[in-house]
A and B are shown apart, each in its own frame.
Chain A
Amino acid sequence: MKLTKILLATTALTVAAGAAAAQEMTIVSWGGAYSKSQKNAYHDPYSEKSGVTIINDDSSAEAVAKLRAMAEADNITWDVVDVVAADALRLCDEGLAMEIDPDTMLAPAPDGTPASEDFGELLVGDCFIPQIVYSTTFGYRTDLVGDNAPTDVCAVFDLDAYPGKRSLEKRPINNMEWALICDGVAKDDVYDVLATPEGQDQALAKLDSIKDQVVWWSAGADTPQLLADGEVVMGSTYNGRLFSVIEEQKQPVGMLWDAQVFDLDGWIIPAGLSDERKARALDYIMFATDTQRLADQAKWISYGPARKSSAPLVGKHAELGIDMAPHMPTDPENAKNTFLYNYEFWADYRDDIDAKFQAWLAQ
């Protein structure tokens, strides 16, 4: 008798838990201020509207490896994953992300423009749903450069005018391009040159001229910290990080937008979800990437919305009350000289150039 009761009770509990689980979804992102902006702009309104509980998992940095491991174990616990476009391309190549049809799966702009046109060329690869445009660019200590504030990215390679350490990311991407530009290669030729062994040597030789003065970073938070401590006179990092150093922490840091490299961050839906979870993930995506929602995110963080139709809707920062438009990497004033991360090139050359770059670093 007793045993039956216990069994019944546990079964009831399991069913209840199952029902509750059906109203949950796990969204993976980067954590910190970025996750907060997503929570405010997407998650909370969506939960209110649909009743789905959203669980945050700050694993985006290891998303590619973890998704691969999950797929091999045949147990995918994530519903929507925030990754940079290069990772999305990799996941798509590996068959780990679901293919997306922008016009049926994403909301059209308010004026009826289909999503494929509204996102335009930012729809990189077949699986990637763009969310924001961010840029990797330089910040410098305003008090250490004197009256001679840098306006040209080549200031990074100019040790005479700007003595002191600079921080660069510990990987070839972006650094090689900047090195070539500052070594006299025309912007349009950079990737053709970089595709040749001679071009790679040329870029490394240019980087070699400042190697002793470089602190190499691997986490996005490193450069803001190094700038705040006065360890470096200038350094590369994501523009949103610099925004928070300058506007929120009021550090003596200035932005050097020249030759900023645009990159994209957005969503993928893992391949192999059950129909029910897939439908829920798609419903979330439809909501979270519409014109208004993308513009809302810019109230919380200085990254540009990926839709053309969102740009006019960008307003003031929700807490600081400052106008966000001039802090967007896509603002015309900031975007006079820019690069778009070349996904195809780096998907091909990443391993080859990375091996050379690491060998050069270790010398």
Chain B
Amino acid sequence: MSDTADTGPVLAADGTPLKRSLAKALRVQKIRALLLIAPLLIFVLISFIVPIISMLSRSVENDIVQNTLPETVPLLAAWDASSGELPGEDVYDALARDMVIAVNAKQHTKLATRLNYEQTGIASMFRKSGRTIKKWDPVADAPFKEKFLELHDGWGDIETWKTIQTHSGAITNGYFLNAIDMQKTPDGIQAQPENKQILIKLFIRTLIMSLVIMGSCILLGYPVAWILANLPAAKANLLMILVLLPFWTSLLVRTSAWKVMLQQQGVINDVLVWIGLVDDANRLIIINNQFGTIVAMTHILLPFMILPMYSVMQTINPTYVRAAKSLGATDWTSFWRVYFPQSIPGIGAGSILVFILAIGYYITPEIVGGTKGVFISNRIAYHISSSLNWGLAAALGTILLVVVLILYWAYDKIVGIDNVKLG
């Protein structure tokens, strides 16, 4: 024991301590490995991570108010909104100076769009006022209070000023509050009026329906994967092509095909009426509702469930089941106690894939979902492309991302991510 301690550190052939020499060799290896993956890493970073972060950061960004009205905002901060009186002359003068610059730079309508999310009517007030303000001289034409009040009633409305004051921070939690059906008002954080509450409902609906879709994919996919794994190779390959076929067909075509199938004058209803199961006057309503979304999305996502299941089932040794049976197990027991547990990693992998894909779907629910079968992603799409409220869209997206990460974490805790296999 003691004699090794006395001889000091073990030396490598060149006389350096072995530990250091080893560390050096490892470091070189690591750098080489890093260099090899560097192109991919940089690509992913630039084209994926950075855009996502910059998009998500919009959910709190709110510097447009300060940047457009740099003089007004600090002065307005000193104004006491509860006094019931309009801000003083100095605020209006500062506003005139800011607005003249903003109008000439065409920034005032951008700000108006932002504030119109909070108070309906500000958009047209700014747009209309801008045309007159353009002609003002911020020095010679002072004072401005009277002029503003003449220009538009809104400038004499305390609510307008309260809105500007409330939303003047460079960072806001307003979008996140909106995303969970709350709102940031001059009187603090409040719930949205009941007739505007929809987003939480949609979040919950998205989660529940994604779970249902995942469940029906498991039920439909498991037998198919089992057959694929247990057929002779030639037949299995043919079946495999059938499973893969949907991949080669456009998503829109598949979704539209379901429309033709499911609508009231569609194929399924026609057949049911023809064989007399359904009365012509009472055709089934199986599209433009949740059922339509579930059917179409189950069909579209099924391959993502079958493939991981199939590749896991292929690795299950058939001798285990045979051994179980020879030891006296019934067909059911040998399946349930021996075969099924070995196929769980495939179910896990398929479920994660299907669930996460389902949660972000929007084109299929939009086409076949009607009003009750749409997802939160449809609202995100609306705010990105129609209302241009990218802040709210980013907040909704962030929440969705966090929810998925939490579910993934919970899955890891309950099932264990090591139990997931893609083959």
Give residues in A with beta carbon < 8 Å to B: 61-62, 64-65, 68, 90, 92-95, 165, 170, 201, 215-216, 218, 229-231, 344, 347-352, 354-356, 358-362
Contacts and interface: CB of A to CB of B under 8 A. Distances in A.
A215 B196 contact: no
Contacts of A351: 116-117, 120, 387, 389
B113 interface: yes
Contacts, number: 83
B109 A65 contact: no
28 contacts: A65-B385, A68-B388, A90-B113, A93-B112, A94-B109, A94-B110, A94-B113, A95-B106, A165-B264, A215-B288, A215-B370, A216-B371, A218-B366, A231-B263, A231-B264, A344-B124, A347-B123, A347-B124, A347-B127, A349-B121, A350-B387, A351-B387, A354-B382, A358-B198, A359-B196, A362-B198, A362-B371, A362-B374
B123 A348 contact: yes
Given A93-B123, A94-B110, A350-B387, A362 B201 contact: yes
B107 to A, nearest CB: 7
Given A95-B107, A362-B201, A349 B288 contact: no
Contact of B109 (A64, A68, A92, A231): A92
A363 B121 CA distance: 27
Interface residues of B, number: 38
A95 B386 CA distance: 16
Nearest to B366: A218
Given A64-B388, A65-B385, A93-B127, A359 B110 contact: no
A352 B109 contact: no
Contacts of A62: 385
Nearest to B108: A93
Nearest to A347: B123
A359 B127 CA distance: 29
B387 to A, nearest CB: 5
B153 to A, nearest CB: 13
Contacts of A347: 116, 123-124, 127
A48 B385 CA distance: 35
Contact of B265 (A68, A95, A229, A359): A229
Contact of B384 (A65, A95, A218, A361): A65
Interface of B: 106-107, 109-110, 112-113, 116-117, 120-124, 127, 195-198, 201-202, 263-266, 288, 366, 370-372, 374, 379, 382, 384-389
Contact of B198 (A65, A68, A348, A355): A355
Contacts of A344: 124, 127
What is the interface of chain A mostly: helix, strand, loop, or mixed?
helix
Given A231-B263, A362-B201, A348 B121 contact: yes
A297 B218 CA distance: 54
A97 to B, nearest CB: 10
A271 to B, nearest CB: 8
A315 to B, nearest CB: 36
Given A348-B116, A362-B201, 16 more contacts: A61-B385, A64-B385, A65-B388, A68-B388, A90-B388, A94-B113, A95-B110, A165-B264, A216-B288, A229-B266, A351-B116, A351-B387, A352-B120, A354-B387, A355-B198, A358-B198
B36 to A, nearest CB: 28
A362 B372 contact: yes
Contacts of A354: 382, 387
Nearest to B196: A355
| Residue of A201, A349, A362 contacting most chain B CB atoms (<10 Å) | A362
B378 to A, nearest CB: 9
A93 to B, nearest CB: 4
A15 to B, nearest CB: 29
A94 B263 contact: no
A231 B198 contact: no
A26 to B, nearest CB: 20
Nearest to B117: A351
Nearest to B194: A359
Contacts of A231: 263-265
Contacts of A361: 371
Nearest to B106: A95
B120 A216 contact: no
A306 B109 CA distance: 27
A317 B34 CA distance: 66
Nearest to B111: A93
